[in-house]
Structure 1
Amino acid sequence: MKPSVNALAGVKVLDLTRFLAGPFCTQLLSDHGADVAKVEPFEGDQARAFGLPPGVNEGDDGQYSLYFQSINRNKRSLALDLRRDEGKEVLRRMVAGADVLVENFRLGVMERLGLGYEQLREINPRLVYAAVRGFGDTRSGESPYSEWPCFDIIAQSTGGLLSITGDPDGTPTKVGPGIGDTLPGIYLAFGILAALHQATRTGKGQFVDVCMTDAILAISERVVYHYQLSGRSPKPEGNFHPFFCPYGLYRAADGWVSIACVSSGFWQKLAQIIGKPELGTRPDLQTDSQRSAQRDFVNAQVTEWTRGQTKKQLAEALGGIIPFGSVNTAEDIFADRHFQRREMLVEVESMGKGAKPLTLVNTPVKMSDTPSHVPTRAPFLGEHTVGLLAEYGFAQQEIDDLLGRGAVRRSAQEEPR
């Protein structure tokens, strides 16, 4: 029997974030049932217009980009003008009934609006106030770069990731997806849940700060311990590993595959499969260190065999015997039964008029008793303004007055109350 509630049901989140890091964080919360109110300026989150393929799923005003839809599902939108005193007062009243507020403005923006953590905790001492910024918040330690703007590529660069990514003799290589944003978003979601747990125990909220650059350094930990042990900065290793061999990407007849032999046992099995069992018993190829010292030779032996096989043939020969994977394209992922059976690709209603359903990547967090939220589409700008204000205790006359004064806006798609 399916549960009637999700794990985070009843948690009220005010989401003032835009672009990627913040919205990715709050989407993780909404996927598991948190009630996320996306508080947007009248022009909307800038991501609504990012990466619009010409003629693909564009709304009448060009505000329904696939980029925006992919990171704002399961949320409701309230259009609010925080430059007006009335708008600020609306947010303050909503804070009184919220559990979490998340923002990713430049340092000092919320303080200049009179809406900083110190001001808002006076209204709601239980409030968990969470922020993600490029170089962190001064409350956690004043960085010399605190005022600098930051995006994905900046975080990947300064956090050390790019120094070990790419060809050994070439230029550093950016990691394809925007992990300089999404990984900080994941860390921020973790911090929020930890702070919520503490608030439940003590009745006291706190400030949660994640720095994008710090988050990248945290997942690039080899940069630190390698330097500490050797006194040398580690360099890019291309598609291979500095400590294990064979471990990396190998060419197939129709693409690429990954192989990871991190023990002599796996190496001996691989040597048998590629038709060179003598390599598995050679005294100078028994340990990871020995094979790494002869990396060019070992990788050449493996590649000589893999390049004559298709990815499917390699999967049949190696799958389940040694650590193996295909380098999947998007087409491969859509056809792979693993992702189908794990329900990692889900369809939701699209925002554009007459647009076909949109396929999104589902949450990878699977829970037995409280599974994730059934995905719903991202909201139109201001689609839930009236309903959200009513839920936060505003009377209909107050809502009408706020609409008349231009402090809030509703969209043509405002859901009926």
Structure 2
Amino acid sequence: MSTDPSQRFGALDDITVLDLTQMLAGPYGTMMLADHGADVIKIEPFGGDVTRGAAASPSHGGSSLGAYFQSVNRNKRSVCLDLKRPEGRDAFKRLVAGADAVVENFRAEVMDRLGLGYEALRQINPRLVYGTLRGFGDPRTGASPYARWPAFDVVAQAMGGVMAITGPDPMTPTKVGPGIGDIIPGIMLAFGVVSAIHHARRTGVGQFVDISMVDSIFAVCERMVWQHSAEGTVPGPEGNHHPFLCPFGMFPASDGHVTIAAHTDDFFAVLCAKLDMADVAGDMRFTDKGGRTRDRRELIVAISRHTARHSKAELTARLGGRIPYGPVMNIADIADDPHFAAREMIVTLEQPNGRPVQVAGVPLKMTATPGGVRRRSPFLGEDTVPVLRAAGLTDQAIAALVKSGAALTGAGEARAAE
């Protein structure tokens, strides 16, 4: 992995982030920064990020570059330090002096006990942005009674409200498929860190950025807040349809399912015409938006009888591009679809010791400073030597760190794999 400045790219190519996060939430946020050119230096313990071995395969990078790890740690570099040792902490502080941000997702006070909390590090670098991602936030910005509770995706989905409004019926709250309890907070973290760096560049003053997983999920459930406030309701699961727009949801096909959003008068007329639904179009209950909302359950049943007669391909030929419509697609469908190819949303990463692995591409497209997936994820400690050298440590000092057990280099593993 090159450290040549000529290889830098993207809108964030002048930003350096020290990334102590693990698992999915934090690494997803720092991946977003790395995908747009930030130099994200992953600071790992000797065992590495716990996801390194997840979904590992000898044919896809081996045990240290599992597919899970590859997916959210591409474009990053790896430095391996033991922060429990004074020498490791000293080396980390040297990196902090030249960094724009430090990001971590430990439980509250873990870094403080190591002497590496925000208050300590800002004495080294006053413009430092210190980002945290925890289940219930950090006491510095609001002391939750659950501040020390551990949390994962499913906990954030449950307590943030999204499960309560998701499910096939009012009695069955349901987890959303992807790990949005991790990913949405990760997105919030990326935005918060970039915003704070922008402020620090203008003022010379850094700050503490605090992201709560539960708060982040609650924030994207904004509709239930105003419904409860303005209408006095407690929204529950509505299945695969909208609570007050119709038709607006999922309908059966003969070989799967499709989605239709034709709640406006114009779109509803097109839907009826293209599916030969004279019976539905002529039903006085459905002639206006109010009636379609009031009698939406009957309308859903009526439309479903028509859509179920056709395959997804037939429905696409009739409705695609004419109304808001899309077939329900799985990853096999997506991999064969020309949209995702044109948008470069499935990217192949060449592996040094196995066959290539595919990861999701970058959804944020920029014309002047395009981001991208430019580099595979790093071996554990692959960049320890060049990163510490760039921070001003001599080769002798780095060798002493390694000998003392405070640092680990994976350069040998990387060279052997190339």
TM value normalised by structure 2: 0.94
Q: Which residue of 2 aligns with 1:197?
A: 198
Aligned counterparts, 1:22-33, within 5 A: 22-33=26-37
- The residue type equivalent to 2:386 in the other structure is G
For residues 394 and 61 of structure 2, what CA distance do their matches in structure 1 show? 35
For residues 212 and 339 of structure 1, what CA distance do their matches in structure 2 show? 29
Measured after TM superposition, the shift of residue 262 of structure 1 is 2.9
Q: Which residue of 1 aligns with 2:224?
A: 223
Q: Which residue of 2 aligns with 1:395?
A: 394
Q: Which residue of 1 aligns with 2:127?
A: 126
Asked if 1:413 corresponds to 2:408, the answer is: no
For residues 338 and 231 of structure 2, what CA distance do their matches in structure 1 show? 44
Aligned counterparts, 1:258-407, within 5 A: 258-277=259-278, 279-280=280-281, 282-350=283-351, 353=353, 355-407=354-406
For residues 288 and 146 of structure 1, what CA distance do their matches in structure 2 show? 46
Measured after TM superposition, the shift of residue 282 of structure 1 is 4.6
Tell me if the contact between 1:382 and 1:410 (Cα under 8 Å) persists in the aligned partners: yes
For residues 215 and 281 of structure 2, what CA distance do their matches in structure 1 show? 42
Q: Which residue of 1 aligns with 2:47?
A: 43
Say which SS state the counterpart of residue 190 (structure 1) adopts. Answer: helix
For residues 6 and 232 of structure 1, what CA distance do their matches in structure 2 show? 46
Measured after TM superposition, the shift of residue 342 of structure 1 is 0.5
Say which SS state the counterpart of residue 316 (structure 1) adopts. Answer: helix
Measured after TM superposition, the shift of residue 170 of structure 1 is 4.0
Q: Deviations over 1:135-176 (max 9, x none)?
A: 000111000100000000000000000000001144211101
- The residue type equivalent to 2:344 in the other structure is E
- The residue type equivalent to 2:40 in the other structure is V
Q: Deviations over 1:195-217 (max 9, x none)?
A: 11111110111111110000000
Q: 2:16 aligns with which of 12, 15, 25?
A: 12
For residues 375 and 149 of structure 1, what CA distance do their matches in structure 2 show? 34
For residues 110 and 288 of structure 1, what CA distance do their matches in structure 2 show? 56
- Structure 1 consecutive aligned stretches of length 4 or more whose deviation exceeds 4 Å: none
Measured after TM superposition, the shift of residue 247 of structure 1 is 1.0
Unaligned runs of 5+ in 1: none
For residues 10 and 230 of structure 1, what CA distance do their matches in structure 2 show? 48
For residues 28 and 195 of structure 2, what CA distance do their matches in structure 1 show? 18
Q: Which residue of 2 aligns with 1:108?
A: 109
For residues 415 and 128 of structure 1, what CA distance do their matches in structure 2 show? 34
Tell me if the contact between 2:280 and 2:302 (Cα under 8 Å) persists in the aligned partners: no
Asked if 1:72 corresponds to 2:76, the answer is: no
- The residue type equivalent to 2:300 in the other structure is N
For residues 107 and 22 of structure 1, what CA distance do their matches in structure 2 show? 15
Say which SS state the counterpart of residue 276 (structure 2) adopts. Answer: coil
Say which SS state the counterpart of residue 46 (structure 1) adopts. Answer: coil
Unaligned runs of 5+ in 2: 1-5
Say which SS state the counterpart of residue 209 (structure 2) adopts. Answer: strand
Q: 1:89 to 1:4 in 2, by over 3 A?
A: closer
- The residue type equivalent to 2:12 in the other structure is L
Tell me if the contact between 2:127 and 2:206 (Cα under 8 Å) persists in the aligned partners: yes
For residues 145 and 295 of structure 2, what CA distance do their matches in structure 1 show? 44
Q: Deviations over 1:345-391 (max 9, x none)?
A: 1111236x3x2111111110000000013431111111111011111
- The residue type equivalent to 1:378 in the other structure is S
Tell me if the contact between 1:274 and 1:302 (Cα under 8 Å) persists in the aligned partners: no
- The residue type equivalent to 2:183 in the other structure is T
TM value normalised by structure 1: 0.95
Measured after TM superposition, the shift of residue 303 of structure 1 is 1.1
- The residue type equivalent to 1:337 in the other structure is P
Tell me if the contact between 1:384 and 1:415 (Cα under 8 Å) persists in the aligned partners: no
Q: Deviations over 1:81-122 (max 9, x none)?
A: 001010111111110010111100001100000000000001
For residues 43 and 171 of structure 1, what CA distance do their matches in structure 2 show? 40
* Identical amino acids, percent of aligned pairs: 47
Q: 1:216 to 1:4 in 2, by over 3 A?
A: closer
Asked if 1:34 corresponds to 2:38, the answer is: yes
Tell me if the contact between 1:3 and 1:370 (Cα under 8 Å) persists in the aligned partners: no
Say which SS state the counterpart of residue 48 (structure 1) adopts. Answer: coil
- The residue type equivalent to 1:7 in the other structure is A
Q: 1:307 to 1:408 in 2, by over 3 A?
A: same
Aligned counterparts, 1:91-102, within 5 A: 91-102=92-103
For residues 383 and 167 of structure 1, what CA distance do their matches in structure 2 show? 47
Measured after TM superposition, the shift of residue 42 of structure 1 is 0.2
Aligned counterparts, 1:165-244, within 5 A: 165-244=166-245
Give the count of matched residue pairs: 410
Q: 1:137 to 1:338 in 2, by over 3 A?
A: same
Of 284-293 and 214-223, deviating more is: 284-293
- The residue type equivalent to 1:41 in the other structure is P
Q: Which residue of 1 aligns with 2:143?
A: 142
Tell me if the contact between 1:385 and 1:414 (Cα under 8 Å) persists in the aligned partners: no
For residues 49 and 151 of structure 1, what CA distance do their matches in structure 2 show? 19
Q: 1:57 aligns with which of 43, 57, 60?
A: 60
Tell me if the contact between 2:162 and 2:218 (Cα under 8 Å) persists in the aligned partners: yes
